[in-house]
Amino acid sequence: MIQRPGRPARDSYVRSLIALFALVLALGACSSGSDTKTVAPDAKKASAALNAGLTAHAAGKLTEASADYEEALKYDHKNKFALYNLGLIDAANGNYGLAEDRYRVVLGLDPKYGPALFNLAILRTASSDTKEAMALYERAVAADPKAAAAWLNLGLLQRANGQAAAGDKNVKKAIALNPELKDPMKATSKAAATAPTTPATK
C-alpha cells in the first residue's frame, strides 16, 4: 500500500527503492554518452567538476558532490548528468519535491532519458499519482524496450488500476527480460523494482 508523502514508511520505502536499482541504470548511462551536439563554452571545466562530483558521490560525500555538480552547471547549465545526480541526492535526503523538479528539468533536456523517467515514476507512484507514473513508465519502455524494471512496475500499476490483462502481459515481459525479477502474485518477494542512487556519468 502506498504511503502518503511525509510519512516515515514512505521515506523508508522510497529510499529502499532508490538504493537497489542504481548500478544497472548508471552503467547504462555510462555507456550512453551525451546526446548534445553543442559543446559548452567551458566544457572542460564542466567535465572536471562533474568528475569531482562523481568521486565525492561514490564516497558518500553528498554535500561535496552537490557543490561539484552545481559547479558543473555553472559551466554547462544543460548538463543532464549533473542535474540528474543532484536529483538523486535530493531524493536521498528526503527532498522528494526537489528531486522531482530536477528530473523534470532533465526530461526537458532529454525526454527519453530512462533513469529520470524511472525515478520520477517511482516518486509519482509514492505520491499516489498512478496515472502520471504509468505514463512515465510507458515512456521509459518506449525509449528502452529492454528496461525490465520499468515493464514490471508498469504491469503492477496496470493490475492495481483494473488493467489486469495488460498488467499480466507486461509483468511476464519484465520477467522474460530479467528472470531475477519476480511476479508478486506468485512469489513472496517485494513487488516493485527499484530506483537508482548511483550517479550517472558521461
Is the confidence at residue 80, as pLDDT, over 50? Answer: yes
So what's the pLDDT on residue 195?
64
What length is written for the chain? 202
Amino acid letter, 76: D
CA distances from 169 to 23, 39, 158, 164, 166 (A): 26, 43, 10, 8, 5
Locate the domains of the chain by residue range: 12-29+41-177
Using one digit for the tens of pLDDT, what is the confidence trace for 93-135?
999 999 999 999 999 999 999 999 999 999 999 999 999 999 9
**In angstroms, rounded to a whole number, what is the distance separating the alpha carbons of residues 89 and 91?**
5
CATH level 3 topology of 12-29+41-177 = 1.25.40
Using one digit for the tens of pLDDT, what is the confidence trace for 7-18?
444 455 444 444
